[in-house]
Amino acid sequence: MQNGKQTNDLTANEQNSEDLTDLFNYPSIGELFSGSDSRRFDEFCRKLTATRENLERIVRYGTRDEAERATRAVRGLEVTLEFLQSLQKMRLDSQK
């Protein structure tokens, strides 16, 4: 059972590497990860974080309708930040 899981993990890792390569071909995402300098990536994540914080204020202090929309937007930003952090981790792991 263990060997089957390891084989599946290896196949998934190979597929993830191919998917990651394809994803970095998109110009906007590729620019965030271009070169060894992570300033663009860090700045973009800071902007997303600041936007999330502003939306969280709307959730707390806005009208019910505004709060509901802001809650959905916050969730979208959280998913985006998690996605970008995962890509960064995968990229760093592949460079080792």
Mind listing the pLDDT tens digit of every residue in the chain (96 residues)? 444 444 444 444 455 555 555 655 555 777 777 777 788 888 889 999 999 999 999 999 999 999 999 999 999 999 999 999 998 898 888 877
- Cβ pair 90, 29 in contact under 8 A: no
* Sign of the CA dihedral with 69 first, then 70, 74, and 76 last: positive
| Per-residue pLDDT, 40 | 84
- Cβ pair 89, 78 in contact under 8 A: no
- Residue 9 and residue 64: Cα distance in Å, rounded? 45
Find the domain containing 26 and state its range.
2-95
- Cβ pair 81, 73 in contact under 8 A: no
Model's pTM, two decimal places?
0.66
| Per-residue pLDDT, 32 | 79
* Sign of the CA dihedral with 74 first, then 76, 77, and 83 last: positive
Total domain count for the chain? 1
